[in-house]
Amino acid sequence: MDEILGVFFHEASEKLDEMEAGLMTLEQGGDDQETLNAIFRAAHTIKGSAGVVEMTAIEEFTHVLENLLDRLREGKLQANGDMISVILSACDHIRALLACIASPQSDLEAALAHEGAQLVDSMRAWIDQEGGQNTAQDGEAQASVDARPFGNTGTVEGVSSNPCWHISVRFGRDTFRHGMDPAAFLQRLSECGRLRNVATLADTMPLAEEMDPESCYLGYEIDLEADVEPVTQANLEQVFQFVQDECALCILPPHSPLSEYAALMASLPESLARLTEIFGQSGALTPCASAASLLDNILLETAAGTLTKTVENGPSSSGGATVPGSRIVAAKERTGQDTRLVRVPAEKLDSLIDLVGELVIAGSSAQLLARQSGDGLLTEAMALLSRLLEEVRDASLQLRMVTVGETFKRFQRVVRDTARETGKQIDLELRGGETELDKSVVEKLADPLLHLVRNAIDHGIETAETRLARGKPVTGRVTLNAYHDTGCVVIEVADDGGGLNVERIRAKAVERGLIDTNATLGENDIYNLIFEPGFSTAEQVSNLSGRGVGMDVVKKSILALRGTIDVHSSPGQGTRFVLRLPLTLAMIDGFLVSVGGGAYVIPLDSVVECLELKEGEALGNVLNLRGQPLPFLALRDLFEIGGAAPLRQNVVVVQAGGQRAGIVVDQLQGEYHTVIKPLGNLFRHLRGLAGSSIMGSGDVALIIDVPSLIQLATLAEHDQNAGSTRHRLENERLAATSNP
Partner 1 sequence: MMQTDSLAEVANDLQGDALRIETEMSIYQAEALKALLLAAIRRNGTLALDLGAVTEIDSSGIQLLMLAWREAGRLGARIGIIACSDAVRRLLEAFGLHEMLRQCVETGESSAALALQTEETSRG
Residues of this chain that interact with partner 1 (CB under 8 A) are 176, 181-183, 186-187, 190, 195, 197-202, 205, 208, 211, 213-214, 216-218, 220
CB of 170 to partner 1, least distance (A): 13
Q: How many CA atoms lie within 13 A of 355 on its CB side?
A: 8
Whole-angstrom CA distances from 504 to 19, 499, 508 are: 42, 12, 6
CB of 233 to partner 1, least distance (A): 23
CB of 172 to partner 1, least distance (A): 13
CB of 282 to partner 1, least distance (A): 10
Beta bridge partners of 565: 579
| Residue among 55 and 201 whose Cβ is closer to partner 1 | 201
CA-to-CA distance for 452 and 460, rounded, in angstroms? Answer: 10
Burial class (CB in 10 A: 0-12, 13-18, 19+), 90: buried
| Residue among 270 and 462 whose Cβ is closer to partner 1 | 270
CB of 240 to partner 1, least distance (A): 14
CB of 192 to partner 1, least distance (A): 14
At CB < 8 A and 24+ separation, what contacts does 316-320 make? 316/170, 316/204, 316/268, 316/269, 317/269, 319/170, 319/171, 319/172, 319/173, 319/174, 319/246, 319/247, 319/248, 320/172, 320/245, 320/246, 320/247, 320/248
| Residue among 217 and 591 whose Cβ is closer to partner 1 | 217
| Residue among 70 and 270 whose Cβ is closer to partner 1 | 270
CB of 190 to partner 1, least distance (A): 8
Amino acid identity, position 478: V
Whole-angstrom CA distances from 672 to 438, 587, 604, 676, 696 are: 21, 11, 9, 12, 10
| Residue among 198 and 366 whose Cβ is closer to partner 1 | 198
CB of 321 to partner 1, least distance (A): 21
Per DSSP, the chain holds a count of helices (H) and strands (E) of 23, 22
Backbone angles phi, psi at 196, to 5 degrees: -80, -50
| Residue among 113 and 199 whose Cβ is closer to partner 1 | 199
CB of 334 to partner 1, least distance (A): 28
| Residue among 271 and 731 whose Cβ is closer to partner 1 | 271
| Residue among 193 and 550 whose Cβ is closer to partner 1 | 193
| Residue among 219 and 563 whose Cβ is closer to partner 1 | 219
Sign, CA torsion 199/200/204/206: negative
Contact indicator for 586, 361 with CB cutoff of 8 Å: no
CB of 175 to partner 1, least distance (A): 8
| Residue among 158 and 182 whose Cβ is closer to partner 1 | 182
CB of 273 to partner 1, least distance (A): 12
**Nearest-10 crossing angle of helices 405-422, 2-29:** 60
CB of 221 to partner 1, least distance (A): 9
| Residue among 115 and 227 whose Cβ is closer to partner 1 | 227
CB of 197 to partner 1, least distance (A): 7
CA-to-CA distance for 2 and 709, rounded, in angstroms? Answer: 48
* Region of residue 666 (left: phi > 0; alpha: psi -120 to 50; beta: else): alpha
Cβ atoms within 10 Å of 3's Cβ, excluding its own: 9
* Region of residue 54 (left: phi > 0; alpha: psi -120 to 50; beta: else): left
| Residue among 176 and 242 whose Cβ is closer to partner 1 | 176
The stretches of 608-687 forming alpha helices (DSSP H) are 635-638
CB of 176 to partner 1, least distance (A): 5
3 state DSSP class of 536: coil
SS (H, E, C) 559-620: HHCCCEEEEEEECCCEEEEEEEEECCCCEEEEEEEEECCEEEEEEHHHEEEEEEECCCCEEC
| Residue among 201 and 623 whose Cβ is closer to partner 1 | 201
Burial class (CB in 10 A: 0-12, 13-18, 19+), 284: buried
Cβ atoms within 10 Å of 302's Cβ, excluding its own: 15
| Residue among 280 and 405 whose Cβ is closer to partner 1 | 280
CA-to-CA distance for 435 and 324, rounded, in angstroms? Answer: 41
CA-to-CA distance for 287 and 257, rounded, in angstroms? Answer: 15
SS (H, E, C) 79-128: CCHHHHHHHHHHHHHHHHHHHHHHCCCHHHHHHHHHHHHHHHHHHHHHHH
| Residue among 165 and 217 whose Cβ is closer to partner 1 | 217
* Region of residue 579 (left: phi > 0; alpha: psi -120 to 50; beta: else): beta
Burial pattern 193-225, b for ≥16 Cβ within 10 A else e, equals bebbbebebeebeeeeeeeeeebbbbbbbbbbb
| Residue among 198 and 349 whose Cβ is closer to partner 1 | 198
| Residue among 274 and 444 whose Cβ is closer to partner 1 | 274
CB of 289 to partner 1, least distance (A): 24
| Residue among 275 and 602 whose Cβ is closer to partner 1 | 275
CB of 200 to partner 1, least distance (A): 4
**Nearest-10 crossing angle of helices 439-455, 551-560:** 160
CA-to-CA distance for 724 and 485, rounded, in angstroms? Answer: 33
CB of 236 to partner 1, least distance (A): 17
Sheet with 248-252, side-by-side order of all strands: 193-201, 219-226, 165-170, 248-252
Cβ atoms within 10 Å of 377's Cβ, excluding its own: 8
CB of 54 to partner 1, least distance (A): 25
Contact indicator for 623, 632 with CB cutoff of 8 Å: yes
